[in-house]
Structure 1
Amino acid sequence: MLAILVLVAWVTPNVHDGLHRLAGYAILGLLAFRLVWGVLGTRHSRFRSLGVRLRATPAYLWNLRRGRTGRYLGLNPAGTAMQLALLLLLIVSAATGAMQVTVRFFGIWWVEDTHEATSYLLIPLVVLHVAGVVLVSRLQRENLARAMLTGRKLLRRGPRTTTTPVDR
């Protein structure tokens, strides 16, 4: 839903301002939910292991160059870094977008410039994220997009493969 709302918000400014604003407020709501879920949610959705995975990101990317990905039930270190970058950019973009329609911040240059810059920075990050998902899916021979949508990932245990919820 977040991806769809970001796409709607990205293509509607100055053309369909009401829809753009509605998408922005919905994005703020989903971001608020994600922040709460990052504290109270299931094991792999919590932010608890954020620091460990972020510190592992350079080594993970170095090994990825050699085709070695490792197996993760939750996000891999690169996915964790991308999640953080996208969440922070979305928070700043949505917050500055909401600020623009208030009396206090309407027409303030830094609010408008920050909203525009973060909105434009999202696009290359989204493209990089999708490319990373495709690359790691091919290297690991598993459908990571399906795992993101369903919350389930195939676990390889010996000769059998079982479907296990990501949050176990």
Structure 2
Amino acid sequence: MKRRIKSLILCWDFGASFLLNLLIFYLLPDYINMKFALSFYNVAMTVLSIIFSLFFTAMAIIMSSSDNDFIEFLEESNTFTELLWSFKITLLSLFISLILSIFLYSITSYWLETFTEGIWLQNKIFISFLGFLFLYGMLATWFCIMDTLKFSMYRSIYLSKKKEEDNKM
């Protein structure tokens, strides 16, 4: 488990998300106008809900399309386990981001609708934290798509080996 957490923190998607978010955090003012934050939360919520549902569907298709022999073939190099691990972490990241965006959108919307007078500000930590999870979720999704393409490549290698073995018999 320690090795997996270490690999999660040292991967490209986490590092790029962290560095980009650090830059954005530095450039943002300490307090953000709540109307701007509400727009960001709305966009994040919309994009994440679409990506989450598509990603979950793609993961289900990949899991159901594999036969036992193919999984054993992938497990010879621990590929299937690593593929599942990356899908699990990405799905968790997307889910947490989605829940957080819904929560932040609801709270900010309630505040703006209840207290209509004045300009309301929100600490940048909220938008920054969601921004990090959002960026990580998007980049991790990209890398999982690349893993899926590798999965397809392994599938064709497996099928050609299986065909060769069948022809030898």
Same fold, judged at TM 0.5 (above): no
- What range is the shorter-chain TM-score in? 0.3 to 0.5
- Normalization by structure 1: what TM-score? 0.40
TM-score w.r.t. length of structure 2: 0.40
> Which of the pair has more CA radius of gyration?
2
Would you tell me which structure has more helix in proportion to its own residues?
2
